[in-house]
Chains A and B, each alone.
Chain A
Amino acid sequence: MSVDDEYDDEVTVFYRRYVGRVQAFLINMGTDRGLAEEIADDAFLAARRYWAHVRSLDRPEAYIFKVARNERSRRQKNYASRARDLHPAPPEPPQSAAVDLAHGVADRIVQQEALRQLPPSLREVIALRVVEDLAVDTTAEIMGISPGAVKRYTFEGRQRLRVLLSDFRDTAGEGMDR
């Protein structure tokens, strides 16, 4: 088995483990699903190009998130105007779904909406640090900021989220009970 084959296998193992998380990060940052899939795949291909180097890093996943993050802002610029025309806003959640499912879906939508109302830098820290549960140092490396800044942003982001979520729940709760 050649080194190329071995590296392909290693990257694929990595892909299985992280592709959902990289994609989730992109979606939570406001990228629509189709583009998020493309960018996530490209980020893993980029890692494969330099896998001899990337595999030796302390946090290879940070490299992949970093490439994905950069591609997002690069492609979003070209894509944003086009996307508004091609992909209309997602449909409202079904009102008649079973109660458990409705709660799950509603929570998800409420959380997504709360995340989207954060300013971009706070949203990004929360998407990496809280949603993906990445370490402070990993988040700092991906965003190119200091660990101290990650901690400050996380703290501020959580506080604002708490306020946003309780606002949403209050409103949603009233609607559901009556």
Chain B
Amino acid sequence: MIAYDEPRTSGLAMLGDGGVDAAEVERRAARFRDALRQLRDDPAERARIDAIVRSAERARHNTGMPGEAAYRDWRASAIKATAPALNRGQLALAGHADVLAGTEVARCYLPVSASVAGGDWHDIVPLSGGRAALIVGDAMGHGPEAVAAMAQLRAAAHVLAGLELAPEEVLRRLDQLAAGFAMPRFATCIYSVIDPAGGSCLIAQAGHLPPVLAVPGGTARVLDLPPGLPLGIEAESFEATRISLPPGATLALYTDGLVESRARPLDDGLAALRDALSSALAEPGATLEGACETVTRAVGQHSEDDVTLVLARARP
């Protein structure tokens, strides 16, 4: 057995001080103090040091070391191998659409690809009085870090929803949670509580794209609600709005992957979503589930991001 971590026995320690003895340290520290003052006062010196920092940051991910290449390959293959399971989890763990008595829900999730896991999530939580919380969120980025952030936010949101906290309060606590992540990572979220008996819906947003409402016989429209700021920046900017949800009206929650891409600006994507949703729901004999799948494929099929669409309406 080879002991890799053998103690310091080589006697090379004498090479370890750089020839800087105690007196030399004092002399250098005094000179360093002057350099600190100059850094504070001189914009040109700050620019010079910032260039050093930027260069080091750029180099960090590409050191060209053989060990690193092997590590990157290993990591990439590990990520690729786990992605399908993570992608399946995105749907399987997301509550049960059929447990709700008063609300019909359909959802669709398209991963970025079989080998990439994304940060989208959605959840359905039954509440008292026949109400239900519908949650759609998106942790920025792809890969294990995004999935880890997403999983924590989804679990927290699920529990907070079950406590029947007000929507803006749920978002406030998720915001605090995200702000404490070791790796800074922003996420957006839309939190809605559907009340089929009252014919209304309460919605709060954290930097998420606005919901779309389709009313039978009319066109679908994008709801203009207070947008809020993304989770993780502790801005305390959340506000809940009550909207009317008449019988037959369908609420659509989705992630940016559905409507936004490099090839298509957001406004065009939203227009495509509204058109597709109106026409899919107007098809004779259309089910909510069928409409959800049709819209997801029609609007989101060329997305470079993962795509989530959740449709909900009060049961007749």
Contact = CB atoms under 8 A, between A and B. Distances in A.
A48 B2 contact: no
Contacts of B40: 4, 8
Interface residues of A, number: 62
Contacts of A131: 12-13, 15-16
B268 interface: no
Could you tell me the dominant secondary structure of chain B's interface residues? Answer: helix
Contacts of B5: 136, 151
Contacts of A21: 16-18
Contacts of A166: none
B32 A41 contact: yes
A49 interface: yes
A4 B60 CA distance: 27
A70 to B, nearest CB: 4
A155 B4 contact: yes
A141 to B, nearest CB: 9
Interface in B20-64: 20, 24-25, 28-29, 31-33, 35-36, 39-40, 46, 49-50, 52-53, 55-56, 59-61, 63
A24 B16 contact: yes
A123 to B, nearest CB: 11
A117 interface: no
Interface string A31-69: 001001100111111101110000000000000001100
A25 B12 CA distance: 12
Nearest to A144: B63
Interface of A: 4, 8, 11-12, 15-16, 19-28, 33, 36-37, 40-46, 48-50, 66-67, 70-71, 74, 104, 107-108, 111-112, 115, 121, 126-127, 130-133, 136, 143-146, 148-155, 158, 161
List 7 tightest A-B contacts by C-beta distance, closest first.
A149-B67, A23-B18, A24-B18, A20-B20, A146-B71, A145-B67, A144-B63
Given A121-B66, A144-B63, 5 more contacts: A48-B36, A133-B16, A143-B63, A149-B65, A153-B67
Interface of B: 2, 4-6, 8, 10-20, 24-25, 28-29, 31-33, 35-36, 39-40, 46, 49-50, 52-53, 55-56, 59-61, 63, 65-68, 70-71, 74
9 contacts: A4-B40, A11-B36, A12-B36, A22-B18, A45-B39, A46-B49, A115-B12, A144-B65, A152-B4
